[in-house]
Amino acid sequence: MRESSVRGERSRPRVRDAEALGWDETLYEGQGRGDEESEPRERGRRGGGGRRRAGGPRPPRRRRRILRWFATVLSVLILGTAGAGYLYYEHLNSKIKKDKLSLGDEKNRPAKAKANAAGQTPLNILLIGSDARDTKENQKLGGAKETFGAAPLADVQMLLHLSADRSNMSVISMPRDTLLQIPECTDPDTGQVFPASTGRQMTNQTLGRGGPGCTVATWEQLTDIHIDHFMMVDFAGVVSMADAVGGVPVCVTANISSRDRQGHGSGLKLEKGTTPVKGKQALQWLRTRYGFEDGSDIARAKAQHMYMNSLVRQLRANATLSNPTQLRRLAETATDALTVDEGLGTVGKLLALGNQLKEVSPKRITMTTMPFQYVGSRVEPKPGDAEKLFRLVREDIALDGKDKKKSTTEETSKDPAAADDEIGVQVQNGTRTATLDPVGGRANAVAQLLVGKGFTKAAADASVALTEDKTIVRYPSAELEGDAQAVAKSLGVPLSSVEKSTQVSGVTLVVGADWREGTAYEAKAEDDKTPKSAKLLNGANDKACMRVNPAFTW
């Protein structure tokens, strides 16, 4: 894990937990009993037969003094509690480690997703598991003594997509040995520039090129999905958080012992059936390859999905988390374990995120692994299927197929279009995909096609090479909507592919991957079904069980 200015402030708060600040559930105990005990004594005094002056009853001084004392003490308690709560809040804030969101080229980051009709936008969060062995605790848990202090690897990478309407959630894992082009990244602490990879490298190496922001930049380059936040945890964090929630139930089809004759394996040892795992055993589950199915990273990702689904169900069902002490322990653990981007760098922001995530029912949570194909002993995104999965996320389409069908009605703009030869059109090449290079000269070819149709001001913009799964026409303001629709109609592009965008300064045609060749655009009906190769796992499936390799049973 890399240091930050925030981490340097850890020594300021001397308070270790809420109890030391006086913020605990016993703070108000006894107040109600004190009221009840004082009342009889007061009645006894009033019944003592004392004289009264002719002007009316004499005010009970002692009672007033007691009430004033009680009010003063109550005020001190309220103010003290508020102060303790604030100090504890600041204590937790000081423990959160922060890093820059993206270390790539800021200008070429994907645009944020458009808001839906209700003004809501989806949320994309990259979850990163670091194998850093930068502390004695991480070294003890992770083993591999020869790697102590070496650059950390992003051995777990999952993109969490929360839908705009907060009705569903998708989680996509990428195998750690996926071969990708890694973009140029700059370390925010040292200023060191890591040049873009000349060939494809394993994606887990991104973390050592400046931090989690480089992993984010690599995902964005591959998927064309704008990532809003990241959250990273190391070995010690996994152990402590598993302890804080009291254990997570997992299932295996047979007795398993993850250790071969050469000593390879996580050391996980479980009996057949369901067992709640916590602490080091939870970490072993998440790291196990030897013994699960074919011993690959793909099997490990599947086990991680089962663990995450079970964790969500456990948090929802675990009544002990209503206990303040349990909640405080979880708060201490979580803030100590996480590294997040600056946009999530306070307890308040993390709580707000948690409140959004908990709106999703487990039955609308979908876990999957990016469709892949083998390249020797490594993997790469599977042509077609991987890009389709990324498109569904970009377009905020639920992977479980339970979304309400979107309206296909096309509305013609009320803004009249200018004459064809007066409309300026920039044509950009968006034919690049996750697995295919852009088609050379494609923007110029389509620009000439437009010129031939009377749009004489059409010109190719060769300064960019985008990734766009379908051909689209963008315009910056309402007065150019009619012009944009005129361009689309001339090419046979559906009006549903005409959109307003602040990313362009004039009418802009992006030739997508659906039109890599030819002069006639053929609009294809969108297939929004998740590819079968994604092998979905539903969050409500509490019967899922990891298949054990017979060579690792006992």
Q: What pLDDT, in 10s, does the model give residues 175-193? A: 999 999 999 999 999 999 9
> Within this chain, do residues 236 and 170 fall inside the same structural domain, yes or no?
yes
Query: Are 507 and 415 in contact, with CB atoms under 8 Å apart?
Result: no
535 in a domain, yes or no?
no
User: Which of the residue ranges 204-208, 327-331, 332-336, 528-532 would you say has the lowest mean pLDDT?
Assistant: 327-331
118 in a domain, yes or no?
yes
Residue 260 CA to residue 549 CA, distance in Å, equals 12
Residue 124 to residues 175, 248, 378, Cα–Cα distance (Å):
18, 25, 26
**How many angstroms from the chain centroid is the CA of residue 62?**
61
545 in a domain, yes or no?
no
480 in a domain, yes or no?
yes
413 in a domain, yes or no?
no
Query: Are 225 and 467 in contact, with CB atoms under 8 Å apart?
Result: no
Q: What is residue 64's predicted lDDT score, i.e. its pLDDT?
A: 61
81 in a domain, yes or no?
yes
The yes-or-no verdict on residue 46 having pLDDT over 70 is no
* Domains identified in the chain, total number: 3
3-state secondary structure of 233: strand
The yes-or-no verdict on residue 163 having pLDDT over 80 is yes
> Within this chain, do residues 77 and 168 fall inside the same structural domain, yes or no?
no
pLDDT in tens, 201-245: 999 999 999 999 999 999 999 998 999 999 998 766 666 666 777
> Within this chain, do residues 451 and 319 fall inside the same structural domain, yes or no?
no
Q: What is residue 34's predicted lDDT score, i.e. its pLDDT?
A: 40
> Within this chain, do residues 391 and 497 fall inside the same structural domain, yes or no?
no
> Within this chain, do residues 192 and 308 fall inside the same structural domain, yes or no?
yes
The yes-or-no verdict on residue 439 having pLDDT over 60 is yes
Residue that the structure tokens 């047979």 belong to: 254
The yes-or-no verdict on residue 422 having pLDDT over 70 is yes
User: Which of the residue ranges 296-300, 355-359, 365-369, 454-458 would you say has the lowest mean pLDDT?
Assistant: 355-359
Structural domain of residue 267, as residue ranges? 106-399
The three-state DSSP-derived secondary structure of 292-349 is ECCCCHHHHHHHHHHHHHHHHHHHHHCHHHHCHHHHHHHHHHHHHHEEEEHHHCCHHH
pLDDT in tens, 477-527: 889 999 999 999 999 999 989 988 878 899 999 999 999 999 999 877 768
> Within this chain, do residues 227 and 125 fall inside the same structural domain, yes or no?
yes
Residue 443 CA to residue 431 CA, distance in Å, equals 9
3-state secondary structure of 413: coil
The yes-or-no verdict on residue 19 having pLDDT over 70 is no
CB atoms within 10 A of CB 250: 24
Residue 188 CA to residue 4 CA, distance in Å, equals 10
Q: What angle do CA 111, 532, 431 make, to 5 degrees?
A: 35
Residue that the structure tokens 């019967």 belong to: 543
pLDDT in tens, 442-489: 999 999 999 999 999 999 998 887 888 889 999 998 899 999 999 999
Closest CA to 332 of 2, 4, 17, 5: 17
Q: What is residue 23's predicted lDDT score, i.e. its pLDDT?
A: 35
> Within this chain, do residues 166 and 188 fall inside the same structural domain, yes or no?
yes
> Within this chain, do residues 381 and 475 fall inside the same structural domain, yes or no?
no
pLDDT in tens, 57-101: 555 566 666 666 656 665 555 556 566 677 777 888 898 999 999
> Within this chain, do residues 187 and 74 fall inside the same structural domain, yes or no?
no
Give the predicted TM-score (pTM) of the model: 0.69
CB atoms within 10 A of CB 43: 9
> Within this chain, do residues 350 and 436 fall inside the same structural domain, yes or no?
no
461 in a domain, yes or no?
yes
Residues counted in the chain: 554
Residue 170 to residues 59, 164, 406, Cα–Cα distance (Å):
69, 12, 19
Residue 177 CA to residue 167 CA, distance in Å, equals 32
Q: What is residue 433's predicted lDDT score, i.e. its pLDDT?
A: 84
Q: Which residues pair with 381 in a beta bridge?
A: 372
> Within this chain, do residues 83 and 142 fall inside the same structural domain, yes or no?
no
414 in a domain, yes or no?
no
Question: 269-270 and 201-202: which strand pairing?
Answer: unpaired
Residue 273 parent element (H or E): strand 273-277
Mean pLDDT across the chain = 81
Q: Could you tell me the two tokens for 94?
A: 């000081």
Q: What is residue 410's predicted lDDT score, i.e. its pLDDT?
A: 58
CATH number at residue 493: 3.30.70.2390
Where do the DSSP E strands lie in 136-253? 154-162, 169-173, 179-180, 185-186, 193-194, 201-202, 229-233, 248-252
- The backbone region for 16, taken as left when phi is positive above 0, alpha when psi lies in -120 to 50, beta otherwise, is alpha
> Within this chain, do residues 372 and 432 fall inside the same structural domain, yes or no?
no
Residue 483 CA to residue 506 CA, distance in Å, equals 10
Helix axes 324-337, 61-95, angle to 10 degrees: 30
Give the single-character DSSP code of 225: P
Q: Which of 95, 117, 137 is the C-terminal boundary of a domain?
A: 95
Residue 211 CA to residue 192 CA, distance in Å, equals 11
Q: Which residues pair with 510 in a beta bridge?
A: 428, 472
Question: 498-500 and 472-475: which strand pairing?
Answer: parallel
The yes-or-no verdict on residue 136 having pLDDT over 70 is no
